[in-house]
């Protein structure tokens, strides 16, 4: 599904010097698998999510990034979305004046159009929205309100997952979806995410803490440090990180004994 080989990427700020954040990252997420990426602050986790989703000013300088063998780097963000990529933002953006339902429906139909499919009918859309909002315990009134405006941190994350379930992407990138969620909300959100797990879908779960991985069980865990994967392992690696902290794993990787 997703293959990154020796990826280097930098941020080119409007006002300032470019800085390389991703420095030779290789990663392969096969279809049907959930991979977690953990790492300390500043290791490049969010940058990776933006590079993959095609945010302007996030530039791949060398290496490759492919989705099902197709080069991602030349694609616009909306083309990546139409090919099934979805980024759940760490900080979802507020969009005044656009109700959640209108936004999601516009996005869904734009994706369908790009894929040469017909628009979803209004009743089908409403039915689906109703089912998913019930599952995520989202008050239907919230879907009529402008997207994320005045929503709490937890509500914004729930709406991210709502959008993800509506759009049914193939590759999901969850960027610190657990931040801002209390334990009940975390459970609800995780149920939603788990409902999307299937042999055709892959997930990249970016997180600081092991906590989320109790609910969304990863097949593999990778440790990101200074723009590279320095250690990879099974779910037990996340537990080890929780116990001994990033410092131990990073030090271990430097001395050549990565887990």
Interface contacts to another protein, rule CB under 8 A: 53-56, 76-78, 80-82, 86-87, 89, 92-98, 103-104, 106-108, 110-111, 114, 146, 163, 167
User: Which CB, 93 or 183, lies closer to another protein?
Assistant: 93
User: Which CB, 87 or 136, lies closer to another protein?
Assistant: 87
**Phi (first) and psi of residue 230, to 5 degrees:** -105, -15
Q: Which residues of 229-244 are buried (b: 16+ CB within 10 A; e: fewer)?
A: bbbbbebebbebbeee
**Min dist. Cβ of residue 135 to another protein (A):** 20
Distance CA 154, CA 77 (A): 25
**Sequence-ordered list of residues with C-beta below 8 angstroms from that of 102, at least 6 positions apart, any chain:** none
Q: Which residues of 124-140 are buried (b: 16+ CB within 10 A; e: fewer)?
A: ebeebbeebbeebebee
**Min dist. Cβ of residue 89 to another protein (A):** 7
User: Which CB, 201 or 228, lies closer to another protein?
Assistant: 201
Q: How far apart are the first and last CA of the chain?
A: 25
Distance CA 84, CA 4 (A): 17
**Min dist. Cβ of residue 234 to another protein (A):** 30
Using left for φ > 0, alpha for ψ between -120 and 50, and beta otherwise, residue 6 falls in left
User: Which CB, 44 or 92, lies closer to another protein?
Assistant: 92
User: Which CB, 89 or 246, lies closer to another protein?
Assistant: 89
Q: Which is it for the CA torsion 232, 236, 242, 244, positive or negative?
A: negative
**Min dist. Cβ of residue 78 to another protein (A):** 5
User: Which CB, 69 or 97, lies closer to another protein?
Assistant: 97
**Min dist. Cβ of residue 250 to another protein (A):** 31
**Sequence-ordered list of residues with C-beta below 8 angstroms from that of 92, at least 6 positions apart, any chain:** 148, 156, 157, 159, 160
**Min dist. Cβ of residue 86 to another protein (A):** 8
């Amino acid at each position: 599904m997703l293959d990154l080989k020796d990826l280097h990427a930098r941020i080119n700020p409007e006002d300032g010097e470019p800085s390389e954040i991703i420095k030779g990252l290789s990663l392969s997420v096969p279809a049907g698998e959930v991979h977690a990426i953990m790492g300390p602050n500043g290791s490049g986790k969010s940058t990776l999510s933006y590079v993959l989703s095609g945010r302007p000013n996030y530039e791949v300088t060398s290496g490759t990034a492919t989705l099902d063998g197709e080069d991602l780097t030349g694609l616009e963000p909306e083309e990546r979305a139409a090919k099934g990529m979805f980024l759940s933002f760490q900080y979802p953006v507020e969009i005044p004046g656009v109700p959640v339902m209108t936004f999601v429906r516009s996005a869904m139909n734009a994706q369908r159009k790009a894929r040469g499919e017909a628009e979803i009918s209004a009743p089908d859309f409403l039915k689906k929205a109703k089912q998913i909002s019930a599952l995520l315990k989202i008050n239907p009134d919230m879907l009529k309100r402008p997207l994320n405006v005045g929503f709490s941190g937890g509500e914004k994350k729930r709406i991210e997952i709502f959008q993800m379930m509506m759009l049914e992407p193939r590759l999901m990138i969850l960027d610190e979806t657990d931040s801002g969620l209390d334990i009940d909300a975390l459970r609800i959100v995780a149920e939603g995410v788990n409902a999307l797990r299937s042999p055709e879908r892959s997930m990249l779960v970016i997180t600081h803490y092991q906590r989320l991985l109790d609910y969304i069980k990863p097949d593999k865990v990778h440790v990101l440090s200074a723009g590279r994967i320095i250690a990879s392992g099974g779910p037990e690696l996340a537990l080890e990180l929780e116990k001994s902290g990033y410092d131990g794993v990073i030090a271990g990787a430097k001395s050549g004994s990565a887990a």
